[in-house]
Amino acid sequence: MAELELQNVYKDYKLDNKQLFNALSDINVSFEKGELVSIIGESGSGKSTLMNIIGGLDSDYKGEIKIDGKNLKDFKEAELDDYRKKKIGFVFQSFNLIPHLSVLDNVTISLTLSNIKESDKNARAIEILKKLGLEKQIKKKPTQLSGGQKQRVAIARALINNPDIILADEPTGSLDSTTTEQILEILKNIADIDNKLVIMVTHSEKVAKISSRIVEIADGKIIKDQFNSDYVKSKGHPALTVKTTSKEGHLSLFSAFKLSFHNMWASKTKNFLMALGVSISLISLILMLSLGSGLTGYIDDTASNYTNPTIVTLSKSGKDRYGNDLNNNSMSFIPQMFESEEIIEIEEELNSYLETQQNDFRIVSEGENKNISYGFSMATIGAGTLVYQNADESTNSSMIMYTYTTPPYYTQDNLLTENSYLSGQNEIMLSYAIVDFLGLENPEDVIGKTVTLKINLNLGDETINIDKNVTISGIVDVSIFAGMMVMYIDYDFLNDCVKEAQINSGNTDALGLKPSQLYIQTDSEETTNLINEYIKRNRLDLSGSVEEQLAAMFSEMMSTFSIALAVIAGISLIVALIMILVVLYMSVSERTREIGVLKSIGARKKDIKLIFSTESLLIGVLSGIVGIIFSLIIGGILIAIFKSLIGFAPISMLWYYFFIALAISVVISVLAGLYPASKAAKLDPVESLRHE
Ligand code: ADP
Ligand code: MG
């Protein structure tokens, strides 16, 4: 039985206009082990077509090809892959080495596809490379080799699986005459010493002369088949091939990653730039999430700092009961105060509402058991000043921007230093700006300092002049307003100051201050909610504390803002996905030849898919890492800027945002890689090898 037998083989190429082009017709020939066959014939006569069919790269032919008596047509896809991997060794005119792999990795690639142990495959490859005189080149990349060296590497690759047939399509076509002789010598030894069937396509009569048999093809037909009677088998050389015993499998995930990594490393600039592009969307995503949680955290903090579940805070909203703007005082700094009749009206209205709700709590605005307390706040820009007398008698003075009375729910938590305490008679508390104002390093040293407080309170129908020495009892945490001079003062003390000023100015009534805030101490959170709900629905002329309103406004802003950011992040992720898709798609067409080579040495569709999929996964990881690093840098810068501008940063980068970003990056990369990977897997090996 012949090693290889072709019977009635016909090959037609389908042309674009559905016509057929006959490239081979009625090929009948058989070959034996140990033969060195030269196929000669003019360019276009069908030599390569014949080689591709024999090599299992082209299955679209008529007739029969028998290997050890078995018909190639009957092979299943997996058997055909195995046939290419182990039975056949291909050598090409243009070497077809994989540029981003080292000489050693080029030779071992088909063993890698069989998942053979690293040490085994390297030992086998090094042994063959040594015999071919390449032991010093194993770490080099193909571009660092001469033509002859490249072709020897290609021969080593063809021999690594100890195949029975070597198919060499114009192996010396790109070599000079000296190197040609070396390569021919090697091929002759493979036939003579290793007893393989070597079929070599050549143009040159001179090359053909050294072979044991010459087959001539013209117009797709064998026109001559001649044995060389002068052929002398060479002797005394060691065999080139190495017997294989290792256990075989399929391309492992680890090896696929390694191959992808090599390829990505070979075009690192391109990949880094792409990762940078993708990372922009990840950065915006991370920053968006961090800003979202930073602001939410800030609002929650503010809300819990400035509210108390058993206190209802009421102030005038500047609207009437029906929600129409009152407009009267809106441009002036005159606070909107409650008249005592209004307070009683509110008390009665709420109490009757509570009664209908079967709630036992009642508001008491006067007397022993009163549970309403008063507050007052106003902008004092231009109306309030603080004067500090230095040791040398010179004075510092600062404008007070806002004056608040201390709400009943304020505790030590609202104060910034340990030695701060809530102010009482002849005392005030100030925001952090007081530290700079007094020229102190240590905020603790502020406590106990005496300053002169001068305020012209414009109450609409009268102006109150307060001029009093007061002691600073504390620094109040006013978060983003820390840089402004904000004063907190006890309501009763302020009320006394007002009365005193009224008496001093000859006002005998001296009725004191009217509140601009009412604090109702309830019995439970339930009652608080009940009252707040009622106010919200029925008393549009009233609103909660300034802080509560601010928090509400903030969260409303936040939700609009986060929708906008989510849309931007979503769009940029789609852009990133398309970008990866384009780059991988281009990578597939750039590497078409490499894919052809991989198929010619027995790579399965699955293997090709795996190599490209792991590459897209690596791109995802790389982009994710780049995105995380830049997010940390940009986030850090933003936090520093915010801190220096407003004293706190509404950015909170939680660790799992980075995992979310990494996961999204990997998912979109893998998704983007699906199509290019399956396109690569489906490429036709013959066409891929012909690809320029
Ligand atoms: P050789 O290797 O002898 O130079 P080939 O086997 O490559 O010749 O080609 C044989 C003939 O088939 C040529 O005329 C060539 O143009 C034609 N041919 C090869 N490949 C294709 C193809 N994919 N589609 C159409 N015609 C082809
Ligand atoms: Mg050819």
Q: Is the pLDDT of residue 546 over 90?
A: no
**For the structural domain made of 4-247, what CATH number should be given?**
3.40.50.300
Report CA 443 to chain centroid distance, whole Å. Answer: 43
> Is the shortest distance between the CB of 21 and ligand 1 below 6 Å?
yes
The first and second tokens of residue 524, run together, are 């439970």
CA 588 to centroid of ligand 1, rounded, Å: 24
> Is the shortest distance between the CB of 43 and ligand 1 below 6 Å?
yes
DSSP assigned state of 295: H
Sign of CA dihedral 226, 228, 229, 234: negative
Identify residue 389 by its one-letter amino acid code: Q
The first and second tokens of residue 24, run together, are 């081979």
pLDDT at residue 34, rounded to an integer = 94
Residue 460's pLDDT band (boundaries 50, 70, 90)?
confident
**Do the strands 213-218 and 221-227 form a parallel or antiparallel pair, or are they unpaired?**
antiparallel
> Is the shortest distance between the CB of 51 and ligand 1 below 6 Å?
no
CA 214 to centroid of ligand 2, rounded, Å: 16
The first and second tokens of residue 573, run together, are 């992720």
Q: Closest by alpha carbon to 607, among 29, 57, 109, 240?
A: 109
> Is the shortest distance between the CB of 451 and ligand 1 below 6 Å?
no
Q: What span, in angstroms and rounded, lies between the C-alpha atoms of 98 and 601?
A: 12
Sign of CA dihedral 649, 650, 652, 653: negative
pLDDT (tens digit, 9 = 90+) per residue, 625-679?
999 999 999 999 999 998 888 777 888 888 999 999 999 999 999 999 999 999 9
Which residues are CB-neighbours of 126 under 8 A, at least 6 positions away?
A: 104, 135, 138
CA 46 to centroid of ligand 1, rounded, Å: 6
Residue 343's pLDDT band (boundaries 50, 70, 90)?
very high
Question: What pTM, to 2 d.p., does this model score?
Answer: 0.70
Which ligand 1 atom lies nearest to the CA of residue 217? 3
Residue with tokens 């600039």: 269
Kindly report the protein residue whose alpha carbon is nearest to atom 14 of ligand 1. Answer: 44
CA 678 to centroid of ligand 1, rounded, Å: 27
Q: What span, in angstroms and rounded, lies between the C-alpha atoms of 527 and 662?
A: 47
pLDDT at residue 303, rounded to an integer = 66
Q: What span, in angstroms and rounded, lies between the C-alpha atoms of 90 and 149?
A: 16
Q: What span, in angstroms and rounded, lies between the C-alpha atoms of 251 and 112?
A: 6
pLDDT (tens digit, 9 = 90+) per residue, 354-387?
999 999 999 999 888 999 999 998 888 778 899 9
pLDDT at residue 344, rounded to an integer = 94
Q: Closest by alpha carbon to 201, among 94, 83, 92, 96?
A: 92
- Residues of the chain within CATH 3.40.50.300 domain(s) are 4-247
CA angle 450/454/460 to nearest 5° reads 145
Q: What span, in angstroms and rounded, lies between the C-alpha atoms of 36 and 231?
A: 10
CA 686 to centroid of ligand 1, rounded, Å: 11
Mean pLDDT of 304-312: 76
